[in-house]
Amino acid sequence: MKKSIILIAAALLLASCTQQWNDLVHEEVVASISTFEIEGQVSCYISLADKSIMVKMPADTDLRELKVSKFVYTEGATLSIDIKVGDVLDLSQPLELTLTTYDPYVWTITATSPLSPGAPVTQSGPDPGKALTKDGPQVYNMGFDLWSKHPDSDTIDVPYGASATDEQKAVWGTTGIFITAMGLTPMVACHDTLAVSGSGKAALRLKTGESSGFLASGLLYTGESAPMWPFFKDYKYGTPFTERPLALEGYALYKPQTITMAQDPYLKRENTQDIGHILVVLSDWDQPYSVSPPEKVLNYMEDSGVIGYGKMVFNKDMNAYERFQINIIYLNDRTPKYVTIAIASSALGDYSTGGIGSILYMDELAFLY
């Protein structure tokens, strides 16, 4: 009897130990991509925060046949798609790749190729070669020709015309209107550096600045402007828009500086060249999306309200305006309620990371249909 009790106790102890082992929380090993290059690329930007890779190719490159020259990812991770150095990828549309260690991590690889001056605008998605046009609804003042002075200050530019309605005045928002008092000029109307010259033409200029240890990226977006305080907090993305354009076209001129101010998770970006970007997101949120970086930013690739998105990264010093086209990737067939267009002279400004003096000029934005 005594022997039986001992055996039962031993069995219970073993079961208990096994259960405890099964309940142990494994150490999280985040699967990430540290190196990715395409043969002949102009540049490649890897975002650990977004789990995304943006490859820029020379003008008029066929994005359907891109050869991988370097690919390094977390040791031991498995891939949903077998990609090796030497493989040829079709990146005419963003490629989703899942890396798995203990948990799955979805990465998105996107390639872009600027159009040569005068080249026809075409769609590189489901119907390659189809000519796209601007004949369709646009967001107010996408060309950035209309500017006024802020009602409370004749030194602050605002992106709407003198005869704008209250609704039109609310289309574009910025975090920069109220920090000019700190000696910074993050957003101004530009009349001498234009993609398209002519009477009444203007462009947008965004500039990253610093005051008293505070980094301010030049930023303009469709949505509600940030309040006076706290800076860069509690602003809202999105202006009403119910169309489904195929692409966003525009002209950009970027003059980056070296990143001298950096915060987590981008401390390693210090002393590297700054990057700018433009992001377009179509959504059916019930209301504009509240942003309060770095605690709350828009994760457009995972947010359930996002219908489609596109992004262009600017990571080289340009001598003149370059024309770009961002093809919009649609995730479903829902009808949008809002569109967010966000433009920043320092793409990592949400994380107080950027190069003081980086300037991004933007002109002649238009949706293509």
Domain 33-112 is of which CATH architecture? Sandwich (2.60)
pLDDT of residue 46: 87
The identity of residue 42, as a single letter, is: V
Both tokens assigned to 365 = 């934005």
Domain 148-368 is of which CATH architecture? Sandwich (2.60)
| Helices and strands counted in the chain (H then E) | 2, 26
CA atoms 300, 302, 304, 306: torsion sign: positive
The CA distances from residue 360 to 93, 149, 252, 313, in Å, are: 26, 21, 7, 11
Identify the DSSP state of 359.
E
H or E, element range at 334: none
Both tokens assigned to 253 = 């001129």
| Rounded distance between C-alpha atoms, residue 158 and residue 170, angstroms | 11
Do 33-112 and 148-368 agree at the fold level? Answer: no
Q: Is 350 helix (H, G, I), strand (E, B) or coil?
A: helix
pLDDT of residue 36: 94
What residue ranges do the domains of the chain occupy?
33-112, 148-368
For 100, phi then psi, to 5°, come to: -125, 125
pLDDT of residue 176: 57
**Has this prediction a pTM greater than 0.75?**
no
| Rounded distance between C-alpha atoms, residue 252 and residue 81, angstroms | 34
70-74: Cβ within 8 A, 24+ apart: 70/35, 70/36, 70/37, 71/33, 71/35, 71/36, 71/37, 72/33, 72/34, 72/35, 72/36, 73/31, 73/32, 73/33, 73/34, 73/99, 74/29, 74/30, 74/31, 74/32, 74/33, 74/34, 74/99, 74/101
The answer to whether residues 106 and 81 touch, using CB atoms and an 8 Å cutoff, is: no
Residue-level pLDDT, tens digit, the chain, 369 residues: 444 444 444 444 444 333 343 444 555 678 889 999 999 998 888 888 778 898 888 877 878 889 999 999 998 889 999 999 999 998 877 888 899 988 888 898 988 776 544 444 444 444 555 678 899 999 999 999 999 988 877 778 899 999 999 999 999 988 655 565 555 678 889 999 999 989 999 999 999 988 778 888 899 999 988 765 555 567 899 999 999 999 999 999 999 999 999 988 888 889 999 999 999 999 999 999 998 888 888 888 889 999 999 988 898 899 999 999 888 989 889 999 999 999 999 999 888 899 999 999 999 999 999
